[in-house]
Structure 1
Amino acid sequence: MVAYILSILAAVGGVALTALVFRKVKQADEDRDPNGPSAAHAGAMLSAMFLLVFAIAIIVPWTTADAARLNTHAESQSAIDAYWAAESLPGTAPQEVRTALRDYVAFVIRDEWPLMAEGRMHPVGAAKMDELRGRVNALGARGDAEEDAKATVLEHIGAVSAARAQRTADAAATPPIGLLYLTILTAAVVIVFPFLAGARPRGMAIAPLVAMAGLLGFGVFLTWDISRAFDGPLAVGPQAFQGAMQEFARIAGGM
């Protein structure tokens, strides 16, 4: 924070020093016109700054949401693969593993997804996967076929756990808070800049400024509203896990 403040002060000081030097050497005329080169240059740069910050504030959560959506499909697909591979486990393990996988996916949809909108995960979900991994790891396999099936199921469960860890990171991910505040600041400066430059619009001349302020306000609100991958207009839904539940039912029905 100190570095940011110092950089701002340095920039302001540079402008003040430049203005003082040119005033001393008297190589430039005074510029008091709201339509003059100073106001035009500053207005263009402020608009460009706002557009840059606004674009970053939109792109960062957009890409995070896309990555989170792909990860949910990877996690649900790994659960489906584990469900298929459990068929070759010894004894009653296939039914037990498949029941545990159905419980886990149903738990994610029913209990965990609402918490993810707040950037949190339910601790029971990780415990369920650890318990399932330990249960499969403790199975006594006889023969190469059962050993291979056990290793395959463990591999898919490991993939589910890895995807779950990434989903945890996706749920907690937000754009840097400074970026969101900078979006508000630059939008506010763009709105009041004409008045700072000396313009005093009257009548219908103020209508475009009002429209611009309204759109900028909506844009700033949007950057906050989409800041979480599992909440807001870009929210990633549990469709991948709902599809996994349907696939479980299809596999079980076909056996």
Structure 2
Amino acid sequence: MGWVTVLVVAAVAILLIALLVLRRRGKTDDGSGAASVDFAANLALAVYLLVLAYAAVLCRDALATSQTDVQAEAETLTEMYWSVAPIPEAAPIRTQIRQYSAQSAELDWPLMAKGEMSPIPTKMLKDLRAATIQLRPVGEQGKSLQQDALTHVSEVAHARSLRADDAGSGLEAIFVISMLISGLLVIALPWTLGARPTLPSIIGDVVRVAVVVIGIGFIMLISHPFSGLSAVGPDAFTTAQQQYDQIDYRFPVPPTAE
């Protein structure tokens, strides 16, 4: 939101300064050179719209990918909970899965908006893997379920690394620079004629500035998958916690494991 505020303030300041200068020093519009300026402005507008559209597609794809990765991690945690639930000796692992899910949602998400991840859930995941390896189930079925749980915990670790990559992603600087340069050209090129502002020209200036500012501001608000508009939230982990409760209903925790 800070970038958007700066963008709006800068655009309004540029517009007001340009109108003030042209009002004082501008000349009556005689149409000389208007055709070439219009061509250049239309070309800049085409480039601006092309970059804007491509950036919007990239941001949308990044949001979709991040949502898929978060959903996959939560579903894998649920599958791991299903794997260990029938094993009486694995009751502590259930608690660790719940704690990892809760701490990921509580600690990771505020940091992911800044491209970072909390080290606490990372350590908890390592402890969860170690506890699953050290598990000594009774019977072949228990051992098979342990292997499934080990597979799932590896998948969770991979999903977490993908989530970290998603948190560190964002729109490349070349797109932001291209939008800013082309947008400035769209706004400023008509002013190069030096014509004194009239009511129709002022309306046109305001529309041009608004279109450029809204377009760039919108892209900036969706440029990161875990912040701004349509940010990916921890809803999948909240749903997973509800799934754990349902699994506990089917496989109650043995009293001796408390």
Q: Give the TM-score, by structure 2 length.
A: 0.80
Instruction: Map Cα deviations across residues 75-114 of structure 1 (whole Å, 9 max, x no partner).
Output: 000000000010243x522x11111000000101112111
Task: Say whether residues 1:92 and 2:89 are aligned partners.
Answer: yes
Q: Name which of structure 1's ranges 238-247 and 145-154 shifts more when overlaid on structure 2.
A: 145-154
Q: Which amino acid aligns with 2:118?
A: H
Residue in structure 2 matched with residue 27 of structure 1 by the alignment: none
Could you tell me which amino acid in structure 2 is paired with residue 51 of structure 1? L
One of 217, 223, 230 as aligned partner of 1:227: 223
1:162 Cα deviation from its structure 2 partner: 0.9
Which residue is 1:76 aligned to? 74
Structure 1 alignment gaps of length 5 or more: 1-31
Q: Is the 8 A contact 1:33 1:198 kept in 2?
A: no
8 Å contact 2:89–2:136 — kept in the other structure? no
Q: Which has the higher contact order (CA 8 A, sep 6+)?
A: 2
Structure 2, unpaired ranges of 5+? 1-30, 252-258
Q: Deviations over 1:164-214 (max 9, x none)?
A: 110000011011122212211211110011122555441233202212212
Corresponding residue for residue 178 of structure 1: 174
Partner of 1:16: none
Alignment match of 1:126 (pick from 122, 138, 146): 122
The separation in 2 between residues aligned to 1:61 and 1:183, in whole angstroms, is: 14
User: Are 2:170 and 2:224, in contact at CA under 8 Å, matched by a contact in 1?
Assistant: yes
Work out the CA distance in 2 between the residues paired with 1:98 and 1:174: 35
Structure 1 contact 72–167 (Cα < 8 Å) conserved:
yes
Alpha-carbon distance in structure 2 between the residues aligned to 1:44 and 1:218: 18
How many residue pairs align between the two structures? 221
Q: Any conservation in 2 of the 1:34–1:198 contact (CA below 8 Å)? A: no
Q: Which amino acid aligns with 1:111?
A: L
Matching residue of 2:157: 161
1:55 aligns with 2:49: no
Range with greater deviation from structure 2 (38-47 or 170-179): 38-47
Deviations 1:97-140 (A, max 9, x none): 11100000010111211111111100111211111111111223
Mapped to 2, the partners of 1:234 and 1:182 lie a distance apart of: 24
RMSD: 1.7
2:70/2:163 contact within 8 Å kept: yes
Q: Matched residues in 1 for 2:80 and 2:184: separation?
A: 53
**2-side partners of 1:60 and 1:200: how far apart?**
41
